[in-house]
Amino acid sequence: MATTMRNLRRLAATGRAAASFSTSTIVRRHSILPRALYTASSYAPQPHRFSSHDRITGGRSCVGCNLSFSTAAATELPPQSDKNYVPNDVVLYQYQACPFCNKVKAFLEYYDIPYKIVEVNPMNKKEIKWSDYRKVPILMVDGEQMVNSSDIIDKMHQRMHPDSVSEDAETQKWRRWVDDHLVHVLSPNIYRSPSEALESFDYITTKGNFSFTERLVAKYGGAAAMYFVSKKLKKRHNITDERKALYEAAETWVNALNGRHLGGSEPNLADLSVFGVLRPIRELKSGKDMVENTRIGEWFTRMESQMKPHRDTALQSS
């Protein structure tokens, strides 16, 4: 019995890996493994480190919901404001398939900031035991912990461009759209059918930090669990036809573009956010379908070509 419970807990943690794609509280509330999936209550907040974004985006991410903040991270005065801001030591704690982590990665790679990756094991999260924050991404920048993908990007961007005028309303709108809408369309799509759920978990467990046994349990158990959870997610986000919703989101985005990018000739932070969250699904069936059935492919390929190859700080210093 104890073993079964242990396995179930592990499996639940896999849901968190799937968290890679499923960020809604519904995963925790309605999962077949609700208790184990519900981790928010264990979070002891660090208000000055955390930011306003979770609250703004309407409670999707419970961890930050009940924290009260009134200023956006971007308006905080950064400790190091420098025109030539080049951080020395950047470490990203991530799940490889996590859309929020990929959003941060798109930013770092576009701006050619070297960083080291620590792949977190979603089962035990031992790599982030040192932190009170129980989600990824966590970005450590010269010893400072940054959390919440949008806030991380805001902070880093402001440090790199201290004199830039504040972000225009259009860019803000689309960045919020990514967090409030686009990410919620992903899970119902990648876990749409048993075979797609299996494909996704094959990707998640192959790329992620799992032991051999964890990988097996996670792959099959996680796929089965997330197949059912994704149906709840659909309801929760009022999605009737998940593919239609994905195609509509892609078309909506393409219609908003200002020529080559939303940012015009160069990508802006909204381009990087959309690209980041879509990147992990690109090679899955849902991503391929999206590219085949919408006009997003051209923009996506353009964005890919704008990314600089990842430079690993660990490798650089050795």
Q: How many CB atoms lie within 10 A of CB 7?
A: 13
Least separation in angstroms between residue 119's CB and ligand GSH is 12
Smallest distance, ligand GSH to C-beta of residue 13, A:
7
Among 4-12, 134-142, 236-244, 254-262, which window interacts with ligand GSH (CB under 6 A)?
Answer: 134-142
CB of 10 to ligand GSH, least distance (A): 13
What is the rounded CA–CA span in Å between residue 300 and residue 308?
Answer: 15
140 binds ligand GSH per the rule CB under 6 A = no
Query: Residue written as tokens 């996506």?
Result: 300
Active site residue 98: yes
Q: Is residue 100 flagged as an active site residue?
A: yes
DSSP code at position 258 = B
51 touches ligand GSH by CB under 6 A? no
Helix axes 99-110, 149-160, angle to 10 degrees: 10
Report how far residue 54's alpha carbon sits from residue 307's, in angstroms, rounded to the nearest whole number: 27
Which residue's CB is nearer to ligand GSH, number 106 or number 257?
106
Where does 57-191 have alpha helices with state H? 62-65, 99-110, 149-160, 169-177, 183-190
Token pair for residue 197?
């759920």
102 binds ligand GSH, rule: CB under 6 A: no
**Distance separating alpha carbons of residues 55 and 51, to the nearest angstrom:** 8
Choose, from 43, 50, 101, 275, the residue flagged as catalytic: 101
Provide the minimum distance between the beta carbon of 100 and ligand GSH in the complex, in angstroms, as a whole number.
4
Site string for ligand GSH, 110-129 (x = CB under 6 A): ------------x-------
Say whether residue 279 binds ligand GSH (CB under 6 A). Answer: no
Residue 50 makes contact with ligand GSH by CB under 6 A? no
Considering the rule CB under 6 A, would residue 61 count as an interface residue with ligand GSH? yes
Instruction: Say if residue 253 is exposed, middle or buried (CB neighbours under 10 Å; 0-12, 13-18, 19+).
Output: buried
Catalytic (active site) residue 111: no
Question: Smaller CB distance to ligand GSH: residue 39 or 145?
Answer: 39
Residue 19 in the binding site for ligand GSH (CB under 6 A): yes
C-beta atoms surrounding 126 within 10 Å? 10
Q: Sketch the per residue contact string, 145 through 184, with ligand GSH: x for CB under 6 A, - otherwise.
A: ---xxx----------------------------------
Q: Is 107 a catalytic residue?
A: no
Specify which residues 258 forms β-bridges with.
261
Report the catalytic residues.
95, 98, 100-101
**Sites of contact with ligand GSH (CB under 6 A):** 16, 19-20, 23, 39, 54, 61, 95, 98, 100, 122, 134-137, 148-150
